[in-house]
Structure 1
Amino acid sequence: MPVTWEAKHLARRYQNAVNNAQGHFFEDAIKDGCAYYSARGRAEIDKTPEPFRVMEKLGGGIFKGRFTAHAQPDFQGTLAGGRSIVFEAKHTTTDRLKRDVLTGEQQDALERHHSRGAVAAVCAGIGNNFFFVPWAVWREMKEHFGRKYVTAANLEPFRVRFNGAVLFLDYKNGSGLLRFCRTGEEFIDEFLKTEVKGP
């Protein structure tokens, strides 16, 4: 029996709803990580609000609005010691994350912050696995992994702890982001020696 357009449309809507819910869960788990680090004096990091303007108030707390500018990186803040940190949060329910999941504007923003000394990264979720990938690695994805997408296996060196919150400052292998902050590119080079290439 052939699949109808309506069945395809409903399946697509369902998948979009699942993806949207997973994305919100991921973002909330990162916010919980931000609260965890704030409570311990390790960092002050906030979700960056989307720039928008109210166009019409409809009453009852409801309004129509529109975005007024390109969004800034998803999360921005300061690590203990004074170094800035900025990162995008990207999640997929598939088995791979493409480099171009970041828009050109997002890539440019991360590059600008990175070039000025900030910790710039992509906090990536692939299914139920979470990673904090330095921008210098994400930017050169094809060079490091041989293609413009990554799997959870590729990102294993960058896996972070998860306790209900995405603890993006704490790599699961125990190296910790603090070392990355101090040594920059050398840390990335050392991590990539253990990278797992694969399908």
Structure 2
Amino acid sequence: MTDSRKNAEGYADPTPYLAERNIETERRQQGRRSKYAGERFENMISAACDYYRGENIADIEKTPEPMRPLKPYGDRRRGQYIAVFVKKAQNDYKGILNGGRCIAFEAKHTDAEKIESSAVTERQADLLENYEKMGASCFVLVSFKFEQFFRIPWSVWRDMKEIYGNKHLKRSEISEYEIGLNYLGVLEFLKKTKGGNANA
């Protein structure tokens, strides 16, 4: 077996080893940044859900991931367990609007200039499609770098290739679906979009 710290001639050369280690470190850091951004966006949405519940506009909650604990991990008093997912992913948020209409949506954050269609998994897409066929209000809530936010109707997300010619969306293409923050700093994802599209 060759030593990854030596070059092809066998001389000491840590460059490939260091490069590989740097790539792995960068991957871990990117994963942490993505997790933090996702949690921050979810916190914004949860605050909006609390606001809408308090105003009797809607009752929407984050869908918990179905997990089965396998065994305790660390300090049992803190409720930490090693667990596995027992079902395929569900939609991020589900609930009901005042008046009885169901609502289901995905929340996606990106630090890029475009968001890919594949950000919504096949399973999530199937669920949104089924909910919409049954009359639910379905959409994808997107954050671009926490600078702009968009509520994209499920039918537009699903058909983006036919509508925009690509399997991704750029901010400039979807300005009619932009939403903002109210005077309290609450993400107004149930208000009419700039293009005049109502949520329900």
Is TM > 0.5 for Structure 1 vs Structure 2?
A: yes
User: Structure 1 regions of 5+ residues with no counterpart?
Assistant: 182-199
* Whole-angstrom distance in 2 between the partners of 1:27 and 1:97: 17
Structure with a larger share of its residues in strand: 1
Match of 1:175 in 2: 196
Correspondence list, 1:46-57, <5 A: 46-57=61-72
Match of 2:51 in 1: 36
Between 1:58-67 and 1:97-106, the stretch displaced more is 58-67
Matched residue SS, 2:190? strand
Q: Is the 8 A contact 1:159 1:171 kept in 2?
A: no
Q: 1:38 offset after TM fit, Å?
A: 0.8
Confirm whether residue 156 of structure 1 aligns to residue 175 of structure 2: yes
Query: Normalised by the size of structure 1, how large is the TM-score?
Result: 0.83
Match of 1:102 among 90, 113, 120: 120
Query: Normalised by the size of structure 2, how large is the TM-score?
Result: 0.83
Match of 2:138 among 120, 127, 135: 120
* Deviations 1:135-172 (CA, angstroms, capped at 9, x unpaired): 00000001111100001112211111225432211245
Match of 1:74 among 92, 96, 99: 92
* Whole-angstrom distance in 2 between the partners of 1:155 and 1:174: 9
Equivalenced residue count is 179
Matched residue SS, 1:71? coil
Q: CA RMSD in A?
A: 1.8
Q: Is the 8 A contact 1:33 1:165 kept in 2?
A: yes
Q: 1:173 offset after TM fit, Å?
A: 2.0
Matched residue SS, 1:45? strand
Confirm whether residue 21 of structure 1 aligns to residue 36 of structure 2: yes
Match of 1:137 in 2: 156
Between 1:45-54 and 1:166-175, the stretch displaced more is 166-175
Q: 1:176 offset after TM fit, Å?
A: 5.8
Q: Name the aligned partner's letter for residue 97 of structure 1.
A: I
User: Structure 2 regions of 5+ residues with no counterpart?
Assistant: 1-14
* Whole-angstrom distance in 1 between the partners of 2:103 and 2:23: 42
* Deviations 1:4-54 (CA, angstroms, capped at 9, x unpaired): 122222222222211211111001100011011111111000001111111
Matched residue SS, 1:170? coil
User: If you compute each CA radius of gyration, which structure gives the higher value, 1 or 2?
Assistant: 2
Q: Is the 8 A contact 2:151 2:193 kept in 1?
A: no
Q: Is the 8 A contact 1:169 1:176 kept in 2?
A: no
Match of 2:80 among 50, 53, 62: 62
Match of 1:45 in 2: 60
